[in-house]
């Protein structure tokens, strides 16, 4: 069994503005959705759901043919609920994937529905985590 730990670290840049860094040195800025172009946490959640599945699908279908188009829209409704708390509902991933004409393109088109289903049902760690409702622990380091 390999290393299972995944983590990111972030630091505050300003009020409601953060820079997130992964172990490989990649960074992304996240904000509250004010007047800047930073991604919000909800936008990152949607992006993570969509791209996690896209990677799974891409690996399978690209073995058969290189897509001529590979895009997706991930959408959902942000619900503000005073009793159950804020959350996203009606989350949906809509892929638009096209392949060239010919035998290889036909093979990729044939594999596409199964690849999408496999990603949704068992491969995509992000959407599986969300759908299974994995508990999240939050703590505060109170050392000075």
42-79: pLDDT as tens digits = 999 999 999 999 999 999 999 999 999 999 999 999 99
Q: Comparing 89 with 144, which gets the higher pLDDT? A: 89
pLDDT confidence tier of residue 2, bands split at 50, 70 and 90: low
pLDDT at 140 over 90: yes
And the tokens for 112? 């596409």
pLDDT confidence tier of residue 1, bands split at 50, 70 and 90: low
Per-residue confidence (pLDDT) for residue 85, from 0 to 100: 95
Q: How many helices (H) and strands (E) does the chain have?
A: 3, 5
- Using alpha carbons, list the distances in angstroms from residue 9 to 33, 48, 83, 124, 133: 20, 17, 31, 22, 23
Q: 41-61 and 125-132 helices cross at what angle (nearest 10)?
A: 130
Q: Are 17 and 29 in contact (CB under 8 A)?
A: yes
Per-residue confidence (pLDDT) for residue 11, from 0 to 100: 97
69-108: pLDDT as tens digits = 999 999 999 999 999 999 999 999 999 999 999 999 999 9
Q: Give φ, ψ of 42 to 5 degrees.
A: -65, -40
Cα 20 from Cα 29, distance rounded (Å): 6
Per-residue confidence (pLDDT) for residue 143, from 0 to 100: 84
pTM for this model (two decimals): 0.91
Mean pLDDT of the chain: 95
């Amino acid at each position: 069994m390999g290393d299972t730990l995944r983590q990111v670290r972030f630091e505050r840049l300003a009020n409601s503005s953060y820079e997130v860094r992964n172990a490989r040195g990649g960074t992304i800025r996240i904000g509250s959705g004010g007047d800047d172009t930073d991604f919000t946490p909800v936008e990152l959640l949607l992006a993570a759901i969509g791209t996690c599945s896209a990677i799974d699908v891409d690996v399978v279908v690209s073995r058969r043919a290189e897509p001529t188009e590979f895009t997706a829209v991930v959408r959902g409704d942000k619900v503000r609920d005073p009793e159950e708390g804020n959350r996203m509902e009606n989350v949906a991933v809509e892929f638009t994937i096209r392949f060239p004409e010919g035998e290889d393109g036909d093979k990729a088109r044939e594999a596409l529905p199964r690849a999408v289903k496999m990603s949704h049902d068992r491969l995509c760690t992000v959407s599986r985590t969300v759908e299974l409702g994995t508990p999240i622990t939050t703590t505060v380091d109170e050392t000075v």
